[in-house]
Amino acid sequence: MTTKSVNIYLSLLKTRADEQRLVALLTDPNPEELEEHIKEHAHLWERRPSDPDFLTVRVGKGKQLFSVGLKMPEVESVDPIATEVQQLKDDFTFVDDIPCGISLPKVKSLGITGRRQDVAALTHEMICQIATHHSPEDVRILGIYPFSQKQDWEWIDNLSHTAPLKGCKLERLTAVGEDEAIQLLNFMLEELSQRVSKMAERNNPTSNTATTAMQPVALPHLVVLVHDYVDVRQHPALTHAFKLGEQLQHF
């Protein structure tokens, strides 16, 4: 193996790495590109519950294993080209600047702490991703926040994903302040209880619906955003959600 052949490999691997990065960015674009995707309807609402990246949210960039398997020729350590070959292997084990995500269905609940402006920025990005990549028929977003943070969060009322479900008396699936929070959480508790009943009925072999028990329940997944968890953490709706969140399509 010569220096010339190493350079040819290097050029080819750089091209493949760039392609891998480009494909990843098409799936998880930079936050500033989401608006353009919405305007162009590019990839809008394309993630479905059966997709492996359903409700996976991008939280930053990092390294990903290179999708190309490297099979470099064996080179003796005394060979002048040995250092270049080893460097080539080291440089292309991973690809840098790849979007990194967290699967909400896998983690079930996610807490974000830090400086207020940083937490708000990251959470805004996550909510925008969910609204861009998922249809409101598949995902509904519930928001609970105090009056002091209304200016930061009232924009989510404009999302189709906060449209109320049947039985909700609020105009949107958002709550500002304690009174509305209790009202929204009571509705959520009722909704979760109904899902438990339907799930039990479908799993009952004597039920008329038992023949369709293997089919998914046709209900939207619920993503609940709570700005100040301390104020509402004792509510039974959240306790219920944490226990049966994945089964009830609630995160």
Q: What is the pLDDT of residues 71-85, one digit of tens each?
A: 766 666 666 677 887
Residues 78 and 148 in one domain: no
Q: Write b or e for each residue in 38-47: b if 16 or more Cβ atoms lie within 10 A of its Cβ, otherwise e.
A: eeeeeeebeb
Examine residue 38 and state whether it is found in any structural domain, yes or no.
Answer: yes
Examine residue 124 and state whether it is found in any structural domain, yes or no.
Answer: no
Q: Report the pLDDT value the prediction gives residue 214, as an integer from 0 to 100.
A: 44
Q: Which domain holds residue 227?
A: 138-244
pLDDT of 112 > 60? The answer is yes
Q: What is the CA radius of gyration of the chain?
A: 24
Examine residue 118 and state whether it is found in any structural domain, yes or no.
Answer: no
Residues 94 and 143 in one domain: no
pLDDT tens column, 175-230: 998 889 989 988 988 888 888 788 777 777 665 554 444 445 547 999 999 987 66
Q: Report the pLDDT value the prediction gives residue 190, as an integer from 0 to 100.
A: 87
Token code pair at residue 115: 């400086």
Q: What is the mean pLDDT of residues 127-139?
A: 95
How distant, in Å, are the alpha carbons of 39, 101, 241 from that of 106? Answer: 31, 11, 14
Q: Which of 9-13, 85-89, 103-107 has the lowest mean pLDDT?
A: 85-89
Residues 93 and 147 in one domain: no
Examine residue 33 and state whether it is found in any structural domain, yes or no.
Answer: yes
pLDDT tens column, 139-182: 999 999 999 889 889 999 999 999 999 888 899 999 998 889 98
Examine residue 87 and state whether it is found in any structural domain, yes or no.
Answer: yes
pLDDT tens column, 11-34: 899 999 999 999 999 889 888 888
Residues 81 and 149 in one domain: no
Domain count, the chain: 2
